[in-house]
């Protein structure tokens, strides 16, 4: 009797990933296992078929041979032993190992090491520092390897002992019905070792807390939200594990003059009525010094002037941004009698000129008059 295609048995495509094949097998094995279907020969046959298909397709070499030569390519190497009477937990060891924290073989892995935690440091910079870049020194609280015990956690002259509960594996097995579940060893907390004579400096931790000073090179053009990674400057690992990383998060403080948006800078420049009406020149600040801004006659309040390449060059590269200056016409205050007299005289000359001197004001007044006329007409009708 010819065998069915293994992909068809597991109900997966030929392009299925290892994870998809594992999920398909787990589903079929749960459904057809003889322990769940006693005296059901059809279920037993389907279970054997699924197990055979999985043993081939889960092995990269066997799968390649099967894809090229079909069943003939794996007849001698498929390893179809292990009938339905085998232990259910052994059959599912490789399937559930990644879920319950280890393979089903129960082999000793020796002492487990843990990578140190990553740390975060919030760095405040002025706008000038962020735009031009600088090197700053920061002081960071962290865990470092204990020099007295060299990170072992054991007192000098002694060493950690293999945990008697898990025998160095770091996990213990618990049987629950069909399943054999693995959990972190409660005695050694997953390390596989027990320290009976702890170091008096780190109290068995293998690391101590202290502050360290680091130099951080801040590249030019950083902005709020950017972060700088310092590899291996985080907390020390446990049991000889590698240290974590330190992430420096940048926050740029508000500036008295400029506001940054991407690579552009914005600022407001107050000007008096005379300069706005007659035109003139102003000195405006940039992050590289002062620059002259030419204000044309009849400039209106709110007009935006763009100064090319006077903004920021982003840390990610690209062209340098611009500086955009918004002029704000300032109304004079604390006028003396003579100034008020001159303004009144000036006002009378504006009224003589009609709409030509204040076109926007007259246009707005005409719009208001039309609005009320239309309202009266609608009410009357």
> Which among 138, 297, 301, 299 has a CA at the least distance from the CA of 230?
138
pLDDT digits (tens, 9 = 90+) for 318-345: 899 999 999 999 999 999 999 999 999 9
Q: Are 111 and 168 in contact (CB under 8 A)?
A: yes
For residue 355, pLDDT beyond 80:
no
For residue 379, pLDDT beyond 90:
no
How much of the chain, in percent, has pLDDT values that exceed 70?
84
Residue 87 CA to residue 232 CA, distance in Å, equals 45
pLDDT digits (tens, 9 = 90+) for 174-201: 766 666 677 888 888 777 888 888 898 8
**Is this model's pTM higher than 0.75 or not?**
no
How much of the chain, in percent, has pLDDT values that exceed 90?
34
pLDDT digits (tens, 9 = 90+) for 123-154: 999 999 999 999 999 998 877 788 888 888 88
For residue 107, pLDDT beyond 60:
no
Report how far apart, in Å, the C-alpha atoms of 359 and of each of 76, 354, 355, 365 are. 97, 9, 5, 10
pLDDT digits (tens, 9 = 90+) for 38-90: 888 888 888 889 898 898 888 888 888 788 777 776 764 433 334 434 444 33
> Which among 371, 363, 295 has a CA at the least distance from the CA of 326?
295
Contacts for 70 with CB less than 8 Å, ≥ 6 apart: none
Angle of helix 41-57 relative to helix 18-32, nearest 10 degrees, comes to: 160
């Amino acid at each position: 009797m010819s065998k069915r295609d293994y992909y068809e048995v597991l109900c997966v495509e030929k392009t299925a990933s290892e994870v998809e094949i594992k999920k398909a097998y787990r589903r079929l094995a749960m459904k057809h296992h003889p322990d769940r279907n006693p005296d059901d020969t059809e279920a037993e046959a389907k279970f054997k078929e699924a197990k055979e298909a999985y043993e081939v397709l889960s092995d990269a070499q066997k799968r390649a041979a099967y894809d090229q030569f079909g069943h003939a390519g794996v007849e001698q190497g498929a390893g179809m032993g292990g009938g339905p009477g085998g232990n259910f937990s052994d059959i599912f060891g490789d399937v559930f190992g990644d879920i319950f924290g280890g393979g089903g073989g129960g082999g000793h892995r020796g002492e487990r090491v843990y990578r140190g935690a990553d740390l975060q440091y919030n760095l405040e910079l002025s706008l000038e520092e962020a735009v031009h870049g600088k090197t700053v020194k920061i002081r960071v609280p962290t865990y470092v390897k204990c020099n007295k015990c060299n990170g072992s956690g054991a007192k000098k002259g002694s060493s950690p002992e293999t945990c008697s509960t898990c025998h160095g594996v770091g996990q213990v097995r618990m049987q629950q019905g069909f399943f054999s579940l693995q959990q972190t060893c409660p005695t050694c907390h997953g390390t596989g070792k027990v320290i009976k004579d702890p170091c008096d400096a780190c109290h068995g931790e293998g690391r101590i807390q202290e502050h360290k000073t680091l130099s951080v090179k801040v590249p030019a053009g950083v902005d709020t939200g950017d972060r700088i990674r310092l590899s291996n400057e985080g907390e020390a690992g446990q049991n000889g594990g590698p240290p974590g990383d330190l992430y420096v998060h940048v926050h740029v403080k508000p500036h008295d003059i400029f506001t940054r948006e991407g690579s552009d800078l914005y600022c407001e420049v107050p000007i008096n009525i005379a300069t706005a009406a007659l035109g003139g020149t102003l000195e405006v600040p940039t992050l590289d010094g002062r620059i002259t801004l030419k204000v044309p006659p009849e400039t209106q309040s709110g007009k935006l002037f763009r100064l090319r390449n006077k903004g920021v060059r982003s840390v990610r590269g690209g062209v340098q941004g611009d500086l955009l200056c918004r002029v704000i016409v300032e109304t004079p205050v604390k006028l003396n009698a003579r100034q008020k007299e001159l303004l009144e005289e000036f006002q009378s000359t504006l009224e003589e000129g009609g709409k030509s001197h204040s076109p926007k004001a007259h246009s707005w007044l005409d719009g208001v008059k039309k609005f009320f006329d239309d309202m009266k007409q609608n009410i009357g009708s």
